[in-house]
Amino acid sequence: MFYSTVPFLLCFIYLQTISSENLNGVFVIDSCKCNSSSETCEPNGPFMFNQKRSTISVKYGSAQVGVGTSGNNQVDLYLNQNRCKGIWNGKNHVAELKCQHQNGIICATNLRCISGACLDDTTITISSSSIIPTMSFLLMIGLLIMLV
């Protein structure tokens, strides 16, 4: 009975503590190198990142210029109509992205956090308010079944 309870509890704990980096804050383009001299990475910022769970929205002033997702230090954005993928480097507070611009031009772009929660070295805990009561209920039912 003990051996069947342990995996169930571990699964329960895992579902409650999915963590991700907190990318809320102000970012600027730290560096941008493209495979074409005619391409520039404009504007340079500041960009406001607003993260809700794994979804990110990006604003430049009052205009929304990007949307995307993040998880496990991976960032996937549509920024200024360009597809960008890369990693979040929490030690340096930099999103290291490869962006595919129009006409197939590829740019290596680093977005540096200059202000906000993205400067924190801790991770945030993401949990759904509907998952916790449901999982608690299922845990109690499972424990009762195992005891009977």
Per-residue tokens: 46: 């500041």
pLDDT of residue 1 exceeding 90 = no
Host domain of residue 8:
1-17+127-148
Shared domain for 79 and 101, answered yes or no, is yes
CA dihedral 130→132→138→139, nearest 10 degrees, is 180
**Per-residue pLDDT tens for 78-102?**
998 899 999 999 899 999 999 998 8
- The two structure tokens encoding residue 133: 């009561």
Q: What are phi and psi of 3, to 5 degrees?
A: -70, -25
pLDDT at res. 144: 56
Residues 66 and 58: beta-carbon distance below 8 Å: yes
This model's pTM is above 0.75: no
Same domain assignment for residues 12 and 25: no
